Amino acid sequence: MIKINLLPHREEKRRLRKQAFVALMLFSALAGVLIVAIGGGYFGNKLSNQEERNQFIKSENDRLDVQIKEVSNLKQEIEALKARQQAVEDLQSDRNQPVYLLDELAQQVPEGVYLKSFQQEGQRVKLNGIAQSNERVSELLRNLGNRSAWLEKPDLIEIRSIGIGQGKDAKRVFDFIVNVDIRRPRDIEAASAGAAIAPVPAARP
């Protein structure tokens, strides 16, 4: 038996192709939406993780800043404590300075020089005396500057010729004022340590 299709087969094929196209478009749209959603979720998750890392780094930096500030404050407190400790040690050592001063003056003042007074302000000592000649004053300065362990940096402030006595006993002498520094024990110890570690010059062949 011969079957004859009386339906418009071209229209049917066109309709089927249209349905297939629409289905393909819908599938493509759904696939695009799915890809965008997956991509958006992936990048959103990466962005969230990066923000968490950034926040962690920021919080750690803030914590380190606090610790650095604390360390800086501790260093300042330590320096202040050291300064106080050094001041206390200086006060204790300065109690013996008059003894050292009198002992050094007894050793370093040459013959022909007589001290009338001395005055100490801090580490500076003002000496006032009478010398038989300029040479005696020069010798005193040399002794204070080169031979004394406790005294240093002598500075002649004033020297003038004056007359003392009357009649046959009258004579000319030199009234002088000298400033000199008195050293602390720690200064002497530091100088001794520096001299101990100083390199010994090599002998020439």
For residue range 144-166, what is the model confidence (pLDDT) as tens digits?
A: 888 888 888 899 999 998 887 77
Under the banding of pLDDT at 50, 70 and 90, the label for residue 198 is: very low
Domain extents for the chain? 9-95, 97-193
> Residue 3 pLDDT > 80, yes or no?
no
pLDDT in tens, 84-119: 877 777 666 667 777 888 888 888 889 999 899 888
State how far the Cα of 147 lies from the Cα of 140, in Å rounded to an integer: 10
- Read out DSSP for 80-123? HHHHHHHHHHHHHHHTTHHHHHHHHHHHHSPTTEEEEEEEEETT
pLDDT of residue 129: 92
Banded model confidence at residue 139, pLDDT cuts 50, 70, 90: very high
For domain 97-193, give the fold. Answer: Gyrase A; domain 2 (3.30.1360)
Write out the H or E segment, with its range, that includes residue 131: strand 124-131
The pTM (predicted TM-score) of the whole model is: 0.51
| SS3 state at 3 | coil
Question: Across residues 39-61, what is the average pLDDT?
Answer: 87
- Angle between helix 9-94 and helix 185-197 axes, rounded to 10 deg: 110
User: Is a pLDDT exceeding 90 seen at residue 176?
Assistant: yes
As a whole number of angstroms, the distance between CA 50 and CA 147 comes to 74
Closest CA to 112 of 171, 155, 180, 153: 171
